[in-house]
Amino acid sequence: MMTNPVTTQPAALPPVVDDATWRAALDDLRRREKAATRELDAIAAQRRRLPMVRMPDYTLIGEHGPVRLADVFEGRSQLIVYNHMWTDGAEWQCGGCTGFTSQFTRLEFLDNYDARFVIVTNGPIEEALAYRTKVGNKMTWYSSSESSFGADVDAAPGEGFAVNVFLRDGDAVYRTWHTNGRGTEQLSHSFALIDVLPWGRQEEWQDSPEGWPQRPTYSGWLDSPDIARVYGSDAE
């Protein structure tokens, strides 16, 4: 936990109404929320019907040396990969990627779904593993520094981050889904928690009532040094 949380005194607050008026407004919002839930269900159904493309027989580098992409599944049929942005030799890597992946501390439930979730970075494995320890990341990391895997799944060196999903059938691996940018938010619980707060993310791009606290985009996010202080090898 952060020891000195930032508090913001807003210039405006939601209007105060009686219970019946509040419930009527909540019911009106609830209809839109339920419609959005049904739309997300329909999107998920379409996702399950996507075709797939067969991948080459890539070799990644793991903690114990080279490993075929098919073996990264560790016997499971489904694999989620977070492609972590990376700059060779940097003291701190992408704060967004570092903060995003620090959320995933309990992934055992995926075993019940014949699935695994790992990080793949384009950086050297020695640097990647040292950084994982430094920031206290709990996921399993691999390096694609000796193959074109990162570039081939739309997360080339020096470009950006992504989420890719794969399906294994024997030794054959297929790419089934990809997203990047804000598409990754659907995997995050942190944004979901912030979005139900009365003031939301408080970022300047958001549509908020007049007088609501707003600040530059990303400025409320924990950066990589913040993550390290809380979870990393030198955390108290």
* pTM for this model (two decimals): 0.92
pLDDT band at 6 (very low <50, low <70, confident <90, very high): low
For 98-154, write each residue's pLDDT tens digit: 999 999 999 999 999 999 999 999 999 999 999 999 999 999 999 999 999 999 999
Asked if residue 7 has pLDDT above 60, the reply is: no
Confidence at residue 12, expressed as pLDDT on a 0 to 100 scale: 87
Confidence at residue 233, expressed as pLDDT on a 0 to 100 scale: 84
Mean pLDDT calculated for residue range 155-174: 97
CA R_g for the chain: 21
Asked if residue 1 has pLDDT above 80, the reply is: no
Does the domain at 53-184 match CATH 3.40.30.10? Answer given as yes
| Alpha-carbon gap, residue 86 to 88, rounded angstroms | 6
Beta strands in 30-138 (DSSP E): 53-54, 59-62, 65-68, 78-84, 115-121
Mean pLDDT calculated for residue range 218-229: 94
Confidence at residue 182, expressed as pLDDT on a 0 to 100 scale: 94
**Quick count: other Cβ atoms within 10 Å of Cβ 113?**
10
Mean pLDDT calculated for residue range 75-96: 97
pLDDT above 90 as % of the chain: 93
Asked if residue 14 has pLDDT above 80, the reply is: yes
Instruction: Provide the edge-to-edge strand list for the sheet that holds 172-179.
Output: 53-54, 172-179, 162-169, 78-84, 115-121, 141-143, 59-62, 65-68
pLDDT above 70 as % of the chain: 95
List Cα–Cα distances, 26 to 13, 22, 148, in angstroms: 17, 6, 50
Six-digit token pair at 24? 């009527």
Average pLDDT, the chain: 94
Confidence at residue 94, expressed as pLDDT on a 0 to 100 scale: 96
Mean pLDDT calculated for residue range 151-169: 97
Domain ranges of the chain: 53-184
Confidence at residue 3, expressed as pLDDT on a 0 to 100 scale: 46
